[in-house]
Chain A
Amino acid sequence: MPKVALFVTCVADQVFPDTAAATVRVLEAAGAEVVFPAAQTCCGQPAITAGEPAAAARLAHHHLDVFGALDAGEIDAIVAPSGSCTAMVCHHYPALLAERRTEAEALAARTFELTQYLVDVLGVVDIGARLDTTVTVHDACHGLRNLGLGHETRRLVEGAGATLVEMTEPDTCCGFGGVFSFGFPEVSTRLADSKLGHAAGTSARYLVSGDLACLMHLDGRRRKVGPGTVPQPIHIADLLASGLPPKR
């Protein structure tokens, strides 16, 4: 049985603990054993996007201390329910932690985004979830362009029996962008409206994505203006877990 360390991400830990719990359920349903390294905090991404790489590096060192210490013989993979936080480790750490580059690269090599781990590493597209619903997918940017993800979420959705309806421009940014969503709220909101409009055009029940920050932004906008015909934003882990049989 593969053994996975959950890299929960600070957003899931503090704001969306149900999504973190769903991530564990999905991993277990796929046949993995999950452990939670309690000393983890945050990967440092907020600081690097704010333009403070020194502060980001401090957290990156801590993250590397916590997860790098896990025995590679015992823990098969480190998995996060976020393409963006995974990309921070895989795409940015080796340069940010230049003096520990070898360690950082080793960590990056065994850190995976949830759908990437399920589909590309374990080779599982059917985790036993059954969903009788329609779904459209938003390709969150860092998963898509830093990690090369795209088909994984779709295969899992279809593997659970749901109907996939593609929206126009599924790969265009939702407008969140971290500090951008505060610094340029008008443009950020217009981009969210555009994404929600494209999603509504599919008449799907759910708008699924692999990044909680995008979903927080999209759902926040949807709640502000009223849901109308816009599909409910939902994380892929929550969607899949909702189709699993009740836990004994």
Chain B
Amino acid sequence: MIDVFVAGLRANSCTVSGPMNTDEARATVVERASAHLLVACNDDVPLPALVDGLRQRGVEVLTPGDPAWAERLADAEVGITGARLAVAQPSAIALAAAPGAPRSTSLVPSVHICVVRVDDLLPTLADAMIGVAAGEMPSALTWIGGPSRTGDLEMITTLGVHGPRAVEIVLLD
């Protein structure tokens, strides 16, 4: 199931790393984000001390509780989020909006890094939707299969038209 998930995401222009443990995942995310000046990070990322780790590397981190969030988000180059769940077929991650998990984090910055727990991966969308619909719905549940893309220019795929140009999935054991 993990192989199908990873293959589907890669076929849809995502990069995928892992599955790996918490320390490795945190190091991977910090390493990836450290090339950037400002990073937006949701509270639902399942990696303890991630924000501290980023700040130690000299990266400025914007969190949803920050009063300057709305004003500064447009300058963030990377958005880091967790995921409510993921499905292998078709391959996609699902992000639930919440006070610590704004919708914009995975939309406005050019790069979206999403940390997904392997335990949250389900085989199919059809099965997953039965469970989702039975639970309490968030104000917005956003399924993401890959980077923002368009086929409007002569039906040839172009990435990053409105949302992120890159989606990087980190799988957590």
Q: Please tell me whether chains A and B touch each other in their complex, using a CB distance cut-off of 8 A.
A: no
Interface residues of A (CB under 8 A from B): none
Interface residues of B (CB under 8 A from A): none
